[in-house]
Every structure is written in structure tokens, then in C-alpha cells.
Amino acid sequence: MKRLFLKGVSPVLAVVLLTAITIGIVATAYYGISSLTHEAAESSKKPIKQQFDVMGTKLKIDVFGNCKIYLRNKGTKDVPIEVVSFYANEIPVNPAPSTGIIKKGAVQEINFTDLSPGRYKLLVKVYENTMDFGYLTCEAPSTCGNGVFNPGQEECEKDIATTNNPNCPIETTTFCDTTNKRYGTRSLHETCTEMCSCTEEAWSWDTGTNPGDPYCNNCVHCGDGDCNCGENSTTCPGDCGLPPVMAFTCAIINAGACADTIVLRVSNTTNAHVGTKDNSTYNKVLCCSAGTGINLYVNIKDGCNATETGLLSLSSLDNSYVEVYNSSNPGNPSPNYDNDVCLSTDSGSLTCQFIEGASCPFGFNEIISLSRITSAHLGEKGDYPVKVCCKSS
């Protein structure tokens, strides 16, 4: 029988092959297990880091500006701007800058250039945790530097490098603000610096009460709504009102209908006894006016002074007879009665006199009439021969 003889593998080679196969299997298993372990560890670290960052972060809004805020880092670590989210009326908005670091204790200016003019509720969040909130106002862009000054709204740009800001009014430019009674010129406040505010540095802030201030000297102020800068009712009636019109008139009417000055109370429109306003109960009155914008004053006393004119004289303070007041006899104008009715005004002059059996002199108007010179009854003009005539000027 024929035998087959097979050539075997060398023992040394077999050992080498077995060793290599074993090392390969072990290495593959090691790296596979190591990779899984590393991924699991990294995955478990992420929420811890996130929680740590939130717990160590504290951001507060220091100041609200025009479409910008100043955000202060009050936490214990630096904060990347990338982890901070901003919401205007609950809608995400882009900050500028959008990258960078807010150092611990530092303040970062954050601008919101994409927002339209308006008012917004602004929320500041880190990992969806609210840090702070408030209300942000965005105004229309400044027109400072366009050659037209917009008082009360413009603010010069603060990053101009020069010390003579070209965005502020030039020194020879002037403005009149009649609404706020101001005169505007940059020269009133020296140079217009790089940090200048057009509103603060361009206006005189004079109120127009002093006739010598810049507003009064440089602005056409008649028409600004205030009687100022030395104006009066004649030079500027629109601001100061129409000038007083002196026109002394009287009428006997019911007391409740008198909108002017009650001079006397009377028992009737004619054949009347009289009394003073405060000492009589007669329902009819002698109601008089000195003219538009002029006050009339009444004094009952013995003898009128140089600033007053005598209308007539009373025998008593109520249920009285009357007597003429003879101003041409200043030593004894009313010889029989001591209760003289003295009139005066706060503007112009008033003069009264009596005349018997004739018309009032030129320029005088008949106010009332008396039945005689003394111990008389009083009536309306034209009722009796003794006339009391007055004129104002």
C-alpha cells in the first residue's frame, strides 16, 4: 500500500502566526471598546458643562440706549457672546457684535441694527435661561450732519476722531426755536467736541424773559405765544393780547346780570334811592365798565384822592338820597354828604363831572341823571336835568 507523506508547517512559523493573530484580535477589541467608552464619557460631560456655564453666568442690562444696550457681566467667569441670545417681543434678534468675549466685571455695548423704529420688550438669555429683560426703544436714525438741524432729536456721532466735530453746526450757523424760546449757535458753547450733543451744545437755552438775552436779540419772537422780550399789546398783540380799550359805560340792570363792576345798588331804574354794594339789598344795580382789559375800583369814603374821580355822594350807605360831587370845588366837593363814591382804574384815566340843564361836554358821556343837585333821586340818563358825565382816556 502506498503511503502519502505531507510536508507540515514549521513549528516556529506556526508560533509566529498564532501570536500575530492573537495580537490583532486583542488590539481590535481594545480600540473598539476604548472608542465606545470615550464617546460615552464625552456625551455625559456635555450637560454638566452646560449646567456649569449657566450657573456661573450672570448678565445684567446696565443702560438702555437708542436701539442698543450696555450689558454687564456680573458673573464669575468670562462669557462668550455666542452663547447669549436676545429676543425682541419674543422674536430672536441679531446682536452686534455677534462674537467675542464679555470679560468678568466688564460692560459690553450691544447694538440691534436690524430692528425698525419702535418699542420692544427685550430678553437676554443664556442657554434659554433668562438673565435680564427690559424695554428697548429704537428711534429713527439721526440726521446730524446733513445741514438741517433737528432740535431735540439729534446727537452727534461719538466716534469722530477730530476735536471739532463736523457733524455739529458750524460756528456761524444760527437757529431760532420759538417753541422752546431758544437761540441756537455753536459759538455760544465754544467748540463742538467729538462727544458733543447737538442739542446741548448748539442752543443758548435762554427763556426769552430778559430783553437782552440771545433769543430776544437774534430771533423774530413776536408770534412765539409768549409776551416776552419787551413785547407789549401794541407791538405784538398776538402774544400779549389786544391793547386795553378805555370806554367807561354804565347801565341800571338786575344784579344777577352784571358781568362788570357793581358801583351802587338802586331801588329802581328811575326816581331811585341808592345804597352801597355791601350795605344794601336792592336787587337792581348801577353796573359799570371801564373798558376791555381795564379794572374799575370803587371806594366809598369822605373825599376822593388825586388818582380817583368822584361820581356822586350819598347821604347814607342804604336807602340814600344823592348829591353831585363837585370836583371843581376840591375843598368841599360834597358839602352835605360824607359818603363819596370814588372811582379809579388800573389803566388810563377816568374823569367825571356834573352839568345841569345842558348836554355833556365834548368827549364826555352821560352816565346817570339826578333830579336835583342835592337830596336827589337817581335815574337813567335823560330822566333828569342834572347829568353826571364821564370820560376815559
Looking at domain 59-138, its CATH superfamily turns out to be Immunoglobulins (2.60.40.10)
343 neighbors 296 (Cβ within 8 angstroms)? yes
In one-letter notation, the amino acid at residue 297 is Y
Cα-to-chain-centroid distance, residue 350: 43
What does the pLDDT average to over 55-74? 88
Query: How confident is the model at residue 124, as a pLDDT?
Result: 94
DSSP letters for 12-33? HHHHHHHHHHHHHHHHHHHHHH
Predicted pLDDT at 158: 37
- Using DSSP's 3-state secondary structure scheme, residue 217 falls into helix
Decide if pLDDT at 340 tops 60: yes
pLDDT at site 45: 39
Residue type, 76: T
Reference 144, options 133, 158, 155, 160; nearest CA is 155
Q: pLDDT by residue (tens digit) across 91-142?
A: 999 999 999 999 998 999 999 989 988 899 999 999 888 989 999 989 876 5
Nearest to 239 by CA among 221, 257, 254, 253: 221
Domain residue limits, the chain: 59-138, 145-243, 245-392
Residue 365 to residue 352: CA distance in whole angstroms = 9
Q: How confident is the model at residue 224 (pLDDT cuts 50, 70, 90)?
A: confident
Closest CA to 227 of 243, 240, 214: 240
DSSP for residue 200? H
- Coil, strand or helix at 237: helix
Preceding omega of 97 cis (within 30 degrees of 0) = yes
223 or 199: which carries more pLDDT confidence? Answer: 223
Least confident of 128-137, 200-209, 216-225, 376-385: 200-209
Q: Are 363 and 329 in contact (CB under 8 A)?
A: no
